A and B are shown apart, each in its own frame.
Chain A
Amino acid sequence: MSLIEITEVRKSFGPNEVLKGINLDVAPGEVIAIIGKSGSGKSTLLRCINGLEMISGGSISVAGAQLLDDQLHLKTLRLKVGMIFQQFNLFPHLTVGGNVILSQTVVKKTDAKAAEAMARRMLDRVGLGHKFDAYPDELSGGQQQRVAIARALAMEPIALLCDEITSALDPELVAEVLSVVRELAAEGMTLLMVTHEMKFARDVCSRVVFMHQGRVHEIGPPGEVFSNPQTPELKQFLGVH
């Protein structure tokens, strides 16, 4: 049974159709890499999955939660699928601990003690337990991104969406974030990640989706997609001739 079901999804911004009928089913525990040229609709697809953008056609459901344009359905959906952003988007006015605690107490009404315990566990998990009382601007980019991961994990989502989560990082900080993601994958978390880290995609992902002009142009296990690209577009994207 699929965990994430994306069926004939279309999305337009005004006259500009960005997603032109996307079909993608993701099984529990799968790690999917989404690759493709700039403007091919990768971010838009991810943002539709947790309702940051509304779709113009088709349907999306995550573990039975449908994407519908009302607060109740959106909340149900977003409790199942978390998102990590390129720019971290930590709350600058809260400590690291506060960042991880906030949505638990506000959205899930977890009591303060349990929320703090969860926050400490998740921060330990990303190796930042000792930064509990620091503020985001006292951390490096890589540390901030790991806090963002802890913050999403604290909501106990079934799947995580990652949109180029290492692209804003200095090269030497990329590895620490990727190793956290690698552990999550190993623990069976379902992941959909837009990434330019081809080596990581090849090592960790179960399937690779190549998007081109708003469509899933090629899809398959990394071995096939990377070693034996079928279409000229993918060949050109990968730089093989």
Chain B
Amino acid sequence: MTEFTLWDILRNLLLATRWTIVLSLVSFIGGGAVGLLLLFARISTRKAIRTFARCYIELFQGTPLLMQLFIAFFGLGLFGIDVPAWLAAGLALILWTASFLAEIWRGCVEAIAKGQWEASASLGMGRLQQMRYVILPQAMKIAVPPTVGFSVQVIKGTALTSIIGFVELSKAGTVVTNATFLPFTVYGLVALIYFALCWPLSRSSQFLERKLNVAHRNH
């Protein structure tokens, strides 16, 4: 039996970490784009659109991410669509992330004083113009800390994709454990790597929040 050095283990885990990072980025960016659409739908003046967005958000927030992954992976398979693990993982995570970001951002938009809507409306701006030039620039500032904070949940969420066979950090941990029989060392390292990814993000979220509270000024 071959001996594995600590470096061998770490190297393999780090290689797999790339996929955790890629999947996190894809989920976050894709989820952000879909989330922005959802946000607009959620605060639309049309009731049907609002209701659709609300149902979407409640559905994706009210079911475990694991179930969403299973449905994307196995469910589509039932219809004869062969879904590779990376696609199912990316799709489910994007849709899941979107539901949370949309709701976080809606809170930020609603925190903007009603007078801002009224003043911009009275100057003749349409709804999209109001959002683009008046509301979002202000809402984005207060949205940064909770959004950065949520990115930690996305990174941790990617660990679940190991169950449908996507090889990211957690899955690599299992594979390496099976080869080395050193579960404590391996999973200890896996946990450390997750921590190294998540900790700076949650710290900067806290830092940004404090900075925002201290700043009285709005610019």
Interface residues of B in 96-143 (CB under 8 A from A): 113, 115-116, 118-127, 129, 133-134, 137-138, 141
* Alpha-carbon distance A50/B125, docked complex (angstroms): 13
Q: Are B126 and A91 in contact (CB under 8 A)?
A: no
Nearest Cβ in chain A — how far from B133, in angstroms? 6
* Alpha-carbon distance A103/B122, docked complex (angstroms): 10
| Cβ-defined partner of A107 (8 Å) among B113, B125, B217, B218 | B125
Q: Are B123 and A103 in contact (CB under 8 A)?
A: yes
Q: Are B120 and A85 in contact (CB under 8 A)?
A: no
* Alpha-carbon distance A75/B125, docked complex (angstroms): 7
Q: Are B217 and A151 in contact (CB under 8 A)?
A: no
| CB-CB under 8 A for A106 and B119, given A92-B219, A137-B218 | no
Q: Are B119 and A85 in contact (CB under 8 A)?
A: yes
| CB-CB under 8 A for A87 and B123, given A92-B138, A107-B129 | no
Q: Which residues of B contact A199 (CB under 8 A)?
A: none
Is A89's beta carbon under 8 Å from chain B? yes
B136-154 toward A: CB 8 Å interface, digit per residue (1/0)?
0110010000000000000
Q: Are A135 and B217 in contact (CB under 8 A)?
A: yes
Nearest Cβ in chain B — how far from A145, in angstroms? 12
Q: Are B119 and A89 in contact (CB under 8 A)?
A: yes
| Partner-binding segment picked from A3-11, A76-84, A174-182 | A76-84
Q: Which residues of A contact B113 (CB under 8 A)?
A: 87, 89
**Looking across the interface, which residue of chain A has its beta carbon closest to that of B119?**
A89
A66-96 toward B: CB 8 Å interface, digit per residue (1/0)?
0000010011001100110101011111000
Q: Are A87 and B115 in contact (CB under 8 A)?
A: yes
Q: Which residues of B contact A85 (CB under 8 A)?
A: 115, 118-119
Nearest Cβ in chain B — how far from A20, in angstroms? 24
Q: Are A107 and B123 in contact (CB under 8 A)?
A: yes
* Alpha-carbon distance A151/B125, docked complex (angstroms): 13
Is A52's beta carbon under 8 Å from chain B? yes
Interface residues of B in 166-219 (CB under 8 A from A): 216-219
Q: Are A91 and B118 in contact (CB under 8 A)?
A: no
Q: Are A102 and B133 in contact (CB under 8 A)?
A: yes
Q: Which residues of A contact B137 (CB under 8 A)?
A: 93
Q: Are A89 and B124 in contact (CB under 8 A)?
A: no
Q: Are A52 and B118 in contact (CB under 8 A)?
A: yes
Q: For the side of the interface on A, what is the size category? A: 20 to 34
Nearest Cβ in chain B — how far from A113, in angstroms? 19
* Alpha-carbon distance A78/B127, docked complex (angstroms): 14
| CB-CB under 8 A for A78 and B138, given A85-B115, A87-B115, A137-B218 | no
Q: Which residues of A contact B138 (CB under 8 A)?
A: 91-93
Q: Which residues of B contact A192 (CB under 8 A)?
A: none
Q: Are A82 and B122 in contact (CB under 8 A)?
A: yes
Is A152's beta carbon under 8 Å from chain B? yes
**Looking across the interface, which residue of chain B has its beta carbon closest to that of A51?**
B121
A140-181 toward B: CB 8 Å interface, digit per residue (1/0)?
000000001001100100000000000000000000000000
Q: Are B219 and A93 in contact (CB under 8 A)?
A: yes
* Alpha-carbon distance A50/B122, docked complex (angstroms): 7
| Cβ-defined partner of B123 (8 Å) among A51, A71, A78, A137 | A78
CB-defined A-B contacts under 8 Å, sample of 24: A52-B121, A75-B124, A78-B124, A82-B123, A83-B118, A85-B115, A85-B118, A89-B113, A89-B115, A91-B116, A91-B119, A92-B138, A92-B219, A93-B138, A93-B219, A102-B133, A102-B134, A103-B123, A107-B125, A108-B124, A135-B217, A135-B218, A135-B219, A137-B216
In the complex, besides A90-B119, A91-B116, A91-B119, 12 extra interface pairs with C-beta distance below 8 angstroms are A52-B118, A52-B122, A78-B121, A78-B124, A79-B124, A89-B118, A89-B119, A93-B219, A107-B125, A107-B129, A135-B218, A137-B217
| Residue positions of A touching B, CB distance < 8 A | 50-52, 71, 74-75, 78-79, 82-83, 85, 87, 89-93, 102-103, 106-108, 135, 137, 148, 151-152, 155
Q: Which 5 A-B pairs have the closest CB atoms?
A: A89-B119, A92-B218, A103-B123, A89-B115, A83-B122
